[in-house]
Chains A and B, each alone.
Chain A
Amino acid sequence: MKHPLRTLRTSVAVLAAGTMLVACASSGTKKSGTTGRKPPKVAMATSIGAGEGQLNIIAWAGYAESGQNDPKVDWVTPFTQQTGCKVNVKTGNTSDEMVQLMKTGQYDGVSASGDATLRLIYGGDVAPTNVDLVPNYKTISTFLKNGNWNSVGGQMYGIPHGWGANVLMWDPAKVSGSPDSWSAVFEQGGKYKGKVTAYDSPIYIADAALYLMATKPDLGIKDPYSLTSKQLDAAVALLKQQKSNVSEYWADYTKEVQAFESGTSVVGTAWQVIANTINGGSKTKVQTVVPKEGATGWSDTWMISSKAKHPNCMYKWMDYIVSPSANAQVAEYFGEAPAQTLACKDTSDKTFCDTYHALDAAYAKQIHYWTTPQQQCVDGSGNNCTDYAQWVTKWQQIKG
């Protein structure tokens, strides 16, 4: 057994030498942002042929239900019956994970939020979408078309799916009163020490920034995704203070469901679909609200991979999922505003679209949609903003 260990000793020496070299190095500069960039040229489909029989997609939980979670919730099976495309769904927990999965080239498409879309477009991972091949695109809400998160130079990359706000969720049995402010998870979080939960992603820094935007106007935050170093530090300080009250961070939505059901967490940020899942069970009942400071949120777009092996099935899926009936079902199950205007007639609850302000462009503007922070401030206020890489580092530091 001696020889391998002698080799090991050599490798330690090599590694040690490497470490010493490293100590002399300085960190390199990092490119960031879309300034002066153009997306790589990716061919756009010009026609749709017959389906390939298979479709591999990455979706948010609740976006592609095939009756496995709840036999009554199923819009994938009708799609397969209509088109012959068998759908394989991979649930993505965070936008970052979705970007990572798309880079493997093994998926045909993705339901990307605004903090993933531009990264995918400029990374050459998705193809431009020929909207003429998607008949249901015509009746999609106009304020979702040609947005700065789903198009470049007037060319759409994907089909808008739906949008909504990240809500504050609490367990009324454990939390007194009805919180109407994010302070319930920040400054007032001490009341529920060790029972607060938060979303485990750097993008959650924007939630703290949004709260500071309303409560500390002297910081001068105008947009929670356009933070200067000083503003970012203030948000990070707030999150570090929040950490002492946090039970656990969630990224996997089933973990938050389980945490509320077992009483591990009693208050925190959530998606409406999580509240619906918990209230669908018998263990715990929860309530949700969009607090008075406003909310961060998402605006999702179905995008087709530049390496799609089943492009015809993907185009058929993009048209199907924004068809009035399917889009209404997804919207009601997930708890978000449907992108399809005609979906409002197909919802089982006729007031649904009013509740979610689905057709209200002015309301939609108020939500601060997830977007990728860049050095070139995303609100156009300058080029002294912190980029996502800095957010990632700060988030790891918050978690310690």
Chain B
Amino acid sequence: MGHQVATDQGLISKPPAAPSVRGRRGAVSAFFAPKRKTRLVLLLSAPMLWLVVAYLGSIGVLLTSALWTTDFFTGNVAHTYSIANLHEVYTQPLYRNVAVRTISVALLVTVIDALIAFPMAFYMSKIASPRMRKLLVVAVLTPLWASYLVKAYAWRSLLAPNGPLSWLTGGHTPGYGLTATVITLSYLWLPYMVIPVYAGFERVPRSLFEASADLGAGAGRTVRSVLIPMVFPAIAAGSIFTFSLTLGDYIAVGIVGGKTQLLANVIYGQLVTANNQPLAAALSTVPLVAIVLYLLAMRRTGALENV
């Protein structure tokens, strides 16, 4: 596939015969046509610059600033190097507890979203009529148009002590807290799971189900042995979104989380409340490590090979 695209753009194979030179545009392409290297550099320099300078550069600055120290009284950063901050982050029980809580919430949200998305995407792809399918895709995507804050505050109203959920269940709502946070985040990130899984199901030919049935497998066996293995890469792709988005969230938990705090709240607290940018940077290595480990785990399952 890669070669095909490259050939089409004349990057690897011999350049096509120079086009008829007419006007300035023609002159420009005539100039670049034989200079393959120049053309490649010009084509790639902007995205590479963005990737290296803006993206990797900012991560580099973050990791470097974790080694700085701060004057606690004035909050000014002192550029002397020390690993005291990282030491504190990885030894303090407070940070360990919060990190464990945050990663558990991220995993729980991911599992809940996968469990909801799987049957939903299956229905959308294989059972619904084409008209219904379009409607469902729109229905899944529409919430993404509304602001994140609006949706989080909507859940704050829904879960309020005198809110609609409380009225429906006769007062048996979780209230604001960790459960409310998991519910809200699962809701917020659901589309990011449904869409990849739906696309995954689209790639599974219907004939496979018939083959499975012909060979004597029941519905459960078909799901276990045919469906899940075939859409697993799609679930893995979706789970990377749900997992990483949850790891970094601090707004939803601030709105519906009651008195709980997650890792990003602690980072925000160190940055804004304590004016301690270096410690905040050191703390943000925790989600960074978590997401890298998660990606490695996903790779080990082979899920990333087919994405």
Contact = CB atoms under 8 A, between A and B. Distances in A.
Interface of A: 1, 5, 8-9, 11-12, 15, 18-19, 21-23, 25-28, 30-34, 94, 96-97, 99-100, 103, 118-119, 122-124, 194, 201-202, 243, 246-249, 258, 262-264, 372, 374, 387-389, 392-393, 395-397, 399-400
Contacts of A9: 296
B258 A22 contact: no
Contacts, number: 141
Contact of A263 (B69, B160, B261): B160
Contact of A100 (B69, B73, B75, B175): B75
Contact of B273 (A26, A94, A246): A94
Contacts of A194: 175
5 contacts: A1-B304, A8-B292, A21-B83, A30-B71, A262-B160
Contacts of A26: 84, 87
Contacts of B87: 22-23, 25-27
Given A100-B272, A123-B76, 13 more contacts: A15-B288, A15-B289, A21-B86, A22-B83, A23-B87, A25-B86, A31-B73, A202-B274, A248-B257, A262-B163, A393-B94, A395-B273, A400-B94
Interface of B: 69, 71-76, 82-84, 86-88, 90-91, 94, 97-98, 156-157, 160-163, 175-176, 257-261, 266, 269-276, 285, 288-289, 292-293, 295-296, 299, 304-305, 307
B83 A25 contact: yes
Contacts of A99: 75, 275
Contact of B293 (A12, A262, A263, A372): A12
A32 B304 contact: no
A400 B176 contact: no
Given A248-B176, A396-B266, A103 B293 contact: no
Nearest to B291: A8
Contact of B73 (A103, A249, A372, A395): A372
| 10 pairs of A and B residues whose beta carbons are closest in the complex | A123-B74, A389-B72, A392-B274, A22-B86, A96-B273, A25-B87, A22-B87, A27-B84, A25-B83, A28-B84
A296 B86 CA distance: 35
Contact of B259 (A31, A243, A389): A243
Given A26-B84, A262-B160, A202 B295 contact: no
